[in-house]
Amino acid sequence: MPRETLENEKVACLDLHSPLYLNSKNNPFGGGDIGDLYQIVDKAAQAGFRVLQFTPIQDTGLNPSPYMGISIFSFNPIHLWVNDLPSNESLEGLKKKRASKAQSEPSDSVKYKKLYSFKLEALRAVYKPSANPDPFKYPREILAYAVFKALEKKFERNWIRWPKRFQKAEPKAILKANPELLDEVKFILFTQDILKKQWLDLLKYAREKRVYLSFDKPIYPVPDSAEVWANQQLFYLNPDGSPKYISGCNNPKDPFGPQEWGQSVYKFKEEPDKTINYFILSVQHISQFAQVIRLDHTLALIWKYYLIDSKTKKGKHIPALKHRLFLRLKKELPEVIFIAEDVGYINKREIDIPLGQHHIPGVRCPQWDRRLKYRWVTRYPGFCVALCSNHDLPSIHVWWKKLKSSRRMIFLKQIYKTEEEAKIRKNKADGWDVIELVFSCAAWIASISLRDIIADNRRYNKPGKIKLTNWRLRSPKLTEEINFSKIARTIKKTGRGR
């Protein structure tokens, strides 16, 4: 579908967070997968949604955060649609065993490590080394990921503690000099081929339903990753390969406050051309299966990026690449619709206007109501994305219930148009009234999470906090039982239907 088809409409977006969140009758393994998304595409399309939003789908190893990736050029095996694999006795035995174990686990959360391991076991059960293509024919970044994973399995430690001859990332040379790695590398490439096909099949199905897929482009990789290992010259590193600076943010009046993320940071200032080339290469990879791409932490690209000294923990801001990067992005990927995750610092001259010049909308959300920019939903510009919530925020229902009466009145006036009516009906309004307010505003895209639709009031992720439930929650409702009729009526009433 051409981008003009979407740009000429007021659009409704369904934020799923992750396939893992889904819960269906046909998936007894303890976490949602790519196969579960087909039913969601059907329901979303019927309700009038045009976009499905996801967090990154890169491999993160045993870390459940989708933003802590080993390689943006990879697919996370945990999303594997196991029932789509060719059946054999070994696989069926694994499936039966995993389904049995999952019955004793909580149904509303994911045992991430167990599920990740099961998916790899399932892939090994159907893997045939002789049928896999030549590893040397794969693009460098994909081969680097496979070699990195094989070496990680071999040495079971951070890459900076591998033997010296492996610390320099020359994937083809390493593979030729160490043929014992070949079997594992071929298996990893096999897993990626399977996952890529499953995602592309889903994309094709969604297109037939006139639904766009949108994925996040994470801003940075983790230090112990294939990306950093294979591109050491692009990151702030010490001579031994450890991070000299790590990622985070400390923006003026950021609603989430100062944060330390711990990822490796690109040398935007020192290596601008190489960094831009690499950044675009990673976006091109995502664009194979995403028609819409949300740029995580866009402030680091359009305003300033933040460096935290890994030893002293002191931070500093460095000017971003700004137009230099975005001109290349728009030129080389003209069919991709970009969305800027521009939360954290408000400045019309330094952020809003530059993004507008590149035709990239930013985001708004009433939950950030302490700032005037987000408070008045009825004043949101047409060229923006209005959120009810996202993966980092409480559900719209929890936020509304906890909102102080004085601040709630600001939204009641927008919902009911007059102060008198707002006072009369103040005790009757609920989260769904705010949802309708967001969907009726001028914003190009209005987004609601599946959690909002089913009133799942648990916090999916709390930024900057280490919680056992972060990124692991699973829908308390089966997909088959989720009723989309109420949001479908809202979409139709607000003119966002098709």
- How far from the centroid of its chain's Cα atoms is residue 485's Cα? 27
How does pLDDT run across 236-277, given as a tens digit for each residue? 999 999 999 999 998 877 767 788 999 999 999 999 999 999
How does pLDDT run across 174-187, given as a tens digit for each residue? 999 999 999 999 99
pLDDT cut 70: percent of the chain above it: 98
Residues linked to residue 124 through DSSP beta bridges, in sequence order: none
Domain ranges of the chain: 3-493
What is the pTM assigned to this prediction? 0.95
* pLDDT score, position 466: 66
Average pLDDT, the chain: 94
Cβ-contact 64, 76 below 8 angstroms:
no
Which amino acid is located at 145 in the chain? Answer: Y
DSSP alpha helices (H): ranges in 339-470? 353-357, 372-375, 396-402, 405-416, 419-424, 431-440, 450-454
Task: Read off the tokens for 429.
Answer: 């309004």
Task: Read off the tokens for 201.
Answer: 């099949």
Cβ-contact 182, 104 below 8 angstroms:
no
The Cβ of residue 253 has, within 10 Å, a number of other Cβ atoms equal to: 10
Confidence of residue 4 (pLDDT cuts 50, 70, 90): low
Measured CA to CA in angstroms, residue 131 lies from 74, 122, 415 at distances of 21, 17, 61
How does pLDDT run across 342-366, given as a tens digit for each residue? 988 888 999 999 999 999 999 999 9
Question: Helix 182-208 vs helix 140-155: angle between axes, to the nearest 10 degrees?
Answer: 130
d(CA 68, CA 73): 13
Residues linked to residue 149 through DSSP beta bridges, in sequence order: none
The Cβ of residue 354 has, within 10 Å, a number of other Cβ atoms equal to: 20
Task: Read off the tokens for 453.
Answer: 């639709």
Beta strands in 242-336, from DSSP E residues, in sequence order: 245-249, 259-264, 292-295, 304-309, 315-319
Residues linked to residue 46 through DSSP beta bridges, in sequence order: none
The order of strands in the sheet holding 337-340 is: 337-340, 292-295, 212-217, 51-54, 11-17, 445-449, 384-387, 362-364
Confidence of residue 336 (pLDDT cuts 50, 70, 90): very high
DSSP string, 38-51: HHHHHHHHHHT--E
CATH fold, domain 3-493, is TIM Barrel (3.20.20)
